[in-house]
Structure 1
């Protein structure tokens, strides 16, 4: 696993062994960042269920101004910390080793993000819980975007009733990226 573009291009990143995380492949990551590239430069980026931190670090390498990583698992958080140190992004990042919903409450009123990315464990409806929490939150800027990596069978039929709309969707063999934003009221 590595950073694929930007100022830290080709730097290898650590990942935690085992099946507790699903590192995004280079090809999928390339497609993801091609879809977001116009919004990355100078943005504040929030990486939820951050795993190894590779998505937030890729955003930083491509010109994001600041990234916050939230990861509950202690081994994964230690891996993120190592990757942040190795890529020399200590001053432009923050790592929070807590449950995502609890951490979002802590961040409220202190940060505003242009992009919120989440790759929660599949088939636990955690993306819905996070979207409910973000619905009336000030964490997402007015014109901000939420990107969700999810399994192909994840139900997003509730987005409309929560006040979100799909901007675009990329479908891969085993998963999808859904780009959503708040509806203009």
Structure 2
């Protein structure tokens, strides 16, 4: 059973830093939707502090948009958020309009199918967030598809949020930079070299 990692108010997340710091945003109550908590998001974006400004980011399995919206708030040049749930996609699009975030896009699609598809933009991303619903156990397939699609730029960062017992090897050119765990969740940041 995945941990519940939500803000103090149910179905609300708070932007931690950047131009929208302190802004609270709501998200729909959907199965499997569990945004990365404030404390871990702050740690992650401290790790990525030098990488986010001006970066091209991909938020696979965007859900509530906690990672993609945080990246936009902190100066990412572009963020593509992908989620398959219509209610989540609609809410994310509304947030982008309300925040006047023209450099953010939301695509309603199955993230794994999108990675394996041929009709997408093939320009590599500087930062990729991989945080699928825990019950779906999509980490191994997503890591393989992401590597095969060559969507991580040279020197690019890949953040993976997974159960602590997830030990699938990553591609040989991904090097573990940082790792932390809390309860049964592990947070890993890799760089492609």
Q: TM-score, normalised by structure 1?
A: 0.88
**Equivalent in 141, 146, 156 of residue 144 of structure 1:** 156
Quick check: 1:53 aligned with 2:59?
no
Quick check: 1:181 aligned with 2:172?
no
Gaps in structure 1 of 5+ consecutive residues: none
Q: Would the aligned equivalents of 2:158 and 2:191 in 1 still touch at CA under 8 Å?
A: yes
1:65 Cα deviation from its structure 2 partner: 0.5
Question: 1:170 & 1:39 partners in 2: Cα distance?
Answer: 19
**Equivalent in 161, 182, 189 of residue 172 of structure 1:** 182
Q: TM-score, normalised by structure 2?
A: 0.85
Question: 1:172 & 1:20 partners in 2: Cα distance?
Answer: 18
Q: Deviations over 1:80-124 (max 9, x none)?
A: 1122122211x2011110111222233242x32100001101154
Q: Which residue of 2 aligns with 1:92?
A: 103
1:165 Cα deviation from its structure 2 partner: 2.9
Question: 2:173 & 2:50 partners in 1: Cα distance?
Answer: 24
Q: Would the aligned equivalents of 2:32 and 2:134 in 1 still touch at CA under 8 Å?
A: no
Q: Which residue of 1 aligns with 2:52?
A: 40
Instruction: Give 3-state SS (helix, strand or coil) of 1:145's partner.
Output: strand
Instruction: Give 3-state SS (helix, strand or coil) of 2:50's partner.
Output: helix
Q: Deviations over 1:112-169 (max 9, x none)?
A: 210000110115431111111122323211111110111222223x225x65332221
Gaps in structure 2 of 5+ consecutive residues: 1-12
1:27 Cα deviation from its structure 2 partner: 1.0
Q: Would the aligned equivalents of 2:18 and 2:74 in 1 still touch at CA under 8 Å?
A: yes
Q: Would the aligned equivalents of 1:107 and 1:139 in 2 still touch at CA under 8 Å?
A: no
Question: 2:145 & 2:121 partners in 1: Cα distance?
Answer: 10
Question: 1:6 & 1:19 partners in 2: Cα distance?
Answer: 29
Between structures 1 and 2, the one with greater helix share: 1
